Structure 1
């Protein structure tokens, strides 16, 4: 871990980290109705300004499972403004996209679709507010697969990106205890991958099993991006037992009157170069 930013080059991943944007929260309020939309616009503007390789969201992009037409329109408008363009995508996906995106009718990353012109891809897990429901298990955004990582390469830097959408904490706790959560690793050159995990669960203990202890997560991970918790703890914290780092971006807007919501809000700009990472 280093606090110095390595020079941006053909081997450096630049990733914008954000979570819990809650688009549509208080959208009918006369004073705060535009807050979430303005904040999302600012986040994506920051991503474009810094020419990131992709945006990584930690869940709860929307405040409601069935967002209003205004929320959907504002989201799509912002994504079109900042994600569409001629800037080439400078990294490759090495994993089988038919597996990673098998839930979709278009099982490949959209920036490889000849009918679209994407310059900043967005990857996300779903949160507890925008989780899939109904017979078809549909939600307002696509989700990362927990079955295996999305394998990314930029120059000589390799990232294995894992994600798990929100699951009731007690259920996921029991699954970890019962060894029912298995994270697959690349078979070739295991030591050459920077392993990132995106999770949207309680990090703070709210009861005996109403949270996910960090020690449940695999120790081969290098960085955990923790969503759902609204307090901003963006500075990576080292877990001395598992020997990985945890960054908790926190919510992008205030949604409750609590001490955790009172601290300044931030998003993160992550740089990954081989084994050197920095978050600011």
Structure 2
């Protein structure tokens, strides 16, 4: 591929940037922006033809002015410029893009775009309210990115391709912005999801789908099975799942492969977020492709471990001081191991003073210790415990997560089904993080009779009111 640059289309793949996450936290306020700036700088350095984002660019449906300002500043700094693009746009922009100007931004005569950005929306930055608009629409109408994959109907979905060509390489780029998993699952089962194929020489196009849905089953219909997707696709870029799994994972049933870039900032203290974070460089040459992982450096080091107090030799349930001392030694060891590993991997030896100025803001790690205190042990106040580590970790208030092994004889609830844990297993923090307000409402309403509201409509209305801050959701 490298021998024919004029026929090789190069895309940088990233997703779930969650810009603005914890922007009021004194330590972690800039984490999402630093990682995103590194992603844009990688795109410049690698001289990519375009950037493809997989949803959840913003963490909040209504990002703050500071978040919007910083995002627009970064796009202007890294993606605007007068370098010409060798990528030809071959489809009708008015039918596939969410703007009013009938063209992609890099072909607009009023704009100078050096690196085009294409994105779908996720569940955090999806369109809502009057006009069905989102923050992504604001960036699109100002020409900073190209927004596609927005479905006008949720009970009948058409996935149309953006047709792009560089030399002899033709890319059909399909996008499907986030739709509630249960609803989209039902639409697939009803066979009301239609994938539009390129009209001319369809066999010549490399078909790439980017979507933002649950990939892992959190319940009977709260995910999208890979088998639902059209066998037309050659590669599927899966957003929403935060664990980094970039290496292509073939689906032998449908004939395509799945790449999952994962998030660029940790938004929960769970196993998937603790994996090393990368972006992917996708090189296309006609129908062949290659993915290369590029590690992100501006990501806060994160270590998660489990401990069961009853399994520690010499630790007695009534010895609170001994338990506290054990946990502090455990956390001290985790901090030391985390920073030693991170500094070594970054290539700066073992002295934090060797870090360049830009990376020093990342020298406070994220530490999560999940403590099983069943067997007669008592828990301590996690926030009081964390006060000892205020200047040593980035998350002193929630270092410790206590849980006890529960044994129940009854059937698992819908919430436990969603979290994917058996009834006799401890509920870990990622289980709690995966439970949304709609799941709690569903569990509460199951078996109830409502005389005024339909439970599904009430569920959706409360979700919009809580997650999207829609004041009129209940009234509507």
**TM-based fold match above 0.5:** yes
* Separation in 1, partners of 2:92, 2:5: 26
* Separation in 2, partners of 1:231, 1:265: 8
Could you tell me whether the CA contact under 8 Å between 1:6 and 1:273 is conserved in 2? no
Decide which of 156, 172, 176 is 1:164's aligned counterpart: 176
Q: Secondary structure at the match of 1:25?
A: coil
CA drift of 1:107 comes to 2.5
Decide which of 93, 96, 99 is 1:100's aligned counterpart: 96
Which residue of structure 2 aligns with residue 144 of structure 1?
148
Could you tell me whether the CA contact under 8 Å between 2:92 and 2:102 is conserved in 1? no
Q: Secondary structure at the match of 2:227?
A: helix
* Separation in 2, partners of 1:157, 1:33: 41
Decide which of 97, 100, 120 is 2:115's aligned counterpart: 120
Could you tell me whether the CA contact under 8 Å between 1:130 and 1:140 is conserved in 2? yes
Q: 1:62 to 1:85 in 2, by over 3 A?
A: same
Q: Secondary structure at the match of 2:129?
A: coil
Could you tell me whether the CA contact under 8 Å between 1:222 and 1:245 is conserved in 2? yes
Higher normalized contact order (CA 8 Å, seq sep 6+, divided by chain length): 1
Which residue of structure 2 aligns with residue 275 of structure 1?
287
Equivalences for residues 187-202 of structure 1 within 5 A: 187-202=199-214
* Separation in 1, partners of 2:218, 2:107: 43
* Separation in 1, partners of 2:131, 2:2: 44
Which residue of structure 2 aligns with residue 236 of structure 1?
248
Length-normalised TM-score, structure 2: 0.57
Which residue of structure 2 aligns with residue 44 of structure 1?
40
Structure with bigger helix share is 2
1:250 matched to 2:250: no
Could you tell me whether the CA contact under 8 Å between 2:94 and 2:100 is conserved in 1? no
Deviations 1:183-216 (A, max 9, x none): 1001221110000000000000000100000000
* Structure 1 residues without counterparts, runs of 5 or longer: none
* Separation in 1, partners of 2:4, 2:54: 24
Which residue of structure 1 aligns with residue 274 of structure 2?
262
CA drift of 1:8 comes to 5.1
* Separation in 2, partners of 1:221, 1:123: 18
RMSD over aligned Cα atoms: 1.0
* Separation in 2, partners of 1:8, 1:56: 22
Q: 1:8 to 1:69 in 2, by over 3 A?
A: farther
* Separation in 1, partners of 2:115, 2:78: 7
Deviations 1:142-164 (A, max 9, x none): 43135410000000000000001
* Separation in 2, partners of 1:163, 1:105: 19
* Separation in 1, partners of 2:164, 2:105: 15
Q: Which moved more, 1:138-147 or 1:27-36?
A: 138-147
Q: Secondary structure at the match of 1:141?
A: helix
Deviations 1:79-120 (A, max 9, x none): 00111111111111111111112x422231111111110010
Which residue of structure 1 aligns with residue 86 of structure 2?
90
Deviations 1:10-56 (A, max 9, x none): 11000000000000000111111011111110000000100100000
Provide the aligned length of Structure 1 versus Structure 2.
Answer: 275
Which residue of structure 2 aligns with residue 72 of structure 1?
68
Could you tell me whether the CA contact under 8 Å between 2:159 and 2:175 is conserved in 1? no
Q: Which moved more, 1:22-31 or 1:138-147?
A: 138-147
Equivalences for residues 170-189 of structure 1 within 5 A: 170-189=182-201
